[in-house]
Amino acid sequence: MKRSLPEEFEDLEALVPYWTRDTEAARNAFRVSCSIKELREFYDIVMPRLDALAERLEQTTLDNMSKEEACLLELALMVMEVAPAVEYYNQPDVPNSVDVEVLKILPVDRAYKITG
């Protein structure tokens, strides 16, 4: 099978097809489409690895990422999107708020460049 993450994160490989998105809008849409059980499972696997993940990514810079590094970064970004649901809300979306469609997440320039 083709590897999509840097070697030392082989154990996270199975998450990649489901949990990587390259925009905030896509990450949020995915979060609210999941069950809290799915979100917690993902969080429980990746959050404990986040320091290692960040440390690995510090070997490169945002403007010069390999495909594998960008993929690893996107997993980390998804953890940041999922974290409040698990740590605070105990449900996929923020409670006591307006429908998720009301707030539009507008596009921004992507902060990282895939060069390798």
Partner 1 sequence: MSSEAIHLTNDQQSYREKYPELGTGPVPVEPYMSEEYLSKECEHIFSKMWLMVGRTTRLKNVGDFFVKNVECLNKSIVVAKGKDQEVRAFYNVCRHRGTNVASGEGNCKYFTCRFHGWVYDTDGSIAHVPEEDQFYQLDKSKLNLESVHCEIWKGFIFVNFSDKPRETLREQLAEYCERFEDFPFEEMPVAGRWGATLKANWKLFQDAFQEGYHVSTVHAGTIGEYFTGKRNPNCRPYYLGLFKRNRSMSFSYNPEFAPHPSEIFAVKAGGSLSQGDAAKTYALPGINPGNDPYYSFDVNAVFPNWLCDTSAGFFFIHEFWPIDAITTRWEASLHFLPTNSPSQYISQMQSVTLLRDAFREDIATSEGSQAGLMSGALREINFSDVEIPCRHQYQVIQELIDNPL
Tokens 């590094």 belong to 69
The β-bridge partners of 61 are: 64
- Binding partner 1 (rule: CB under 8 A), the pick from 3, 33, 52, 61 is 61
- Binding partner 1 (rule: CB under 8 A), the pick from 1, 2, 7, 104 is 104
- CB nearer to partner 1: give 1 or 75: 75
CA-closest candidate to residue 67, choices 110, 1, 23, 3: 3
Q: Smallest gap, in angstroms, from Cβ of residue 37 to partner 1?
A: 18
Interface residue list for partner 1 (CB under 8 A): 24, 28, 47, 50-51, 54-55, 57-58, 60-63, 65, 69, 73, 76-77, 79-81, 83-84, 87-89, 94-98, 100, 102-109, 111-112
